[in-house]
């Protein structure tokens, strides 16, 4: 699985996951910085071209793009959604929880479904 972290996630999250051996890019990485502040459409299309799964909190925006693409017979990237409820931005423990949850998902042997709603690790 190859991930593309949307801009609401710090670049350090991608760094931590790469340190664990995963292929993870961040919109804040130099090769993706063109996507900082870009539209969801641009991020969606970049993920399709790069064969990456988008990790984002923007459920409504990316689900809408997915539905439109599927209706038109176009390719879609996989989508992993997080929520502020599962991973509250104001909680200092959230960063570690995201690292653990994504690391566990990336380390699993199962093929992921097209859409995943990520939950906090227990």
Give the tens place of pLDDT for each residue, 39-51. Answer: 999 999 999 999 9
Q: Give percent of the chain with pLDDT exceeding 90.
A: 80
Instruction: Note the pLDDT tens digit of each residue in 24-41.
Output: 999 999 999 999 999 999
- Total tally of structural domains belonging to the chain: 1
Report yes or no on 107 lying in a domain. yes
Q: Confidence class of residue 63 from pLDDT cuts 50, 70 and 90? A: very high
State yes or no: pLDDT of 121 exceeds 90: no
Cross-sheet strand order for the sheet of 115-117: 23-26, 2-5, 53-56, 79-81, 115-117
Picking from 120, 56, 57, 61, the residue whose alpha carbon sits closest to that of residue 84 is 57
List the domain range (segments joined by +) for residue 37.
Answer: 2-117
The answer to whether 52 touches 68, Cβ cutoff 8 Å, is no
Report yes or no on 122 lying in a domain. no
The answer to whether 53 touches 76, Cβ cutoff 8 Å, is no
State the CB neighbour count (10 A cutoff) for residue 21: 10
Report yes or no on 37 lying in a domain. yes
State the CB neighbour count (10 A cutoff) for residue 49: 10
Q: What does pTM read for this prediction?
A: 0.92
């Amino acid at each position: 699985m190859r991930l593309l972290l949307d801009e609401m996630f710090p670049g350090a999250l991608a760094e931590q996951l790469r340190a664990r051996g995963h292929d993870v890019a961040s919109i804040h990485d130099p090769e993706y910085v063109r996507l900082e502040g870009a539209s969801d459409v641009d991020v969606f299309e970049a993920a399709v071209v790069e064969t990456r799964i988008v990790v984002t909190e923007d459920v409504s925006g990316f689900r809408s793009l997915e539905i439109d693409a599927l209706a038109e017979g176009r390719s879609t990237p996989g989508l992993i959604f997080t929520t502020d409820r599962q991973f509250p931005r104001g909680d200092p423990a959230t960063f570690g929880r995201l690292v653990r949850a994504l690391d566990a998902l990336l380390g699993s042997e199962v093929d992921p479904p097209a859409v995943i709603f990520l939950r906090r690790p227990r």
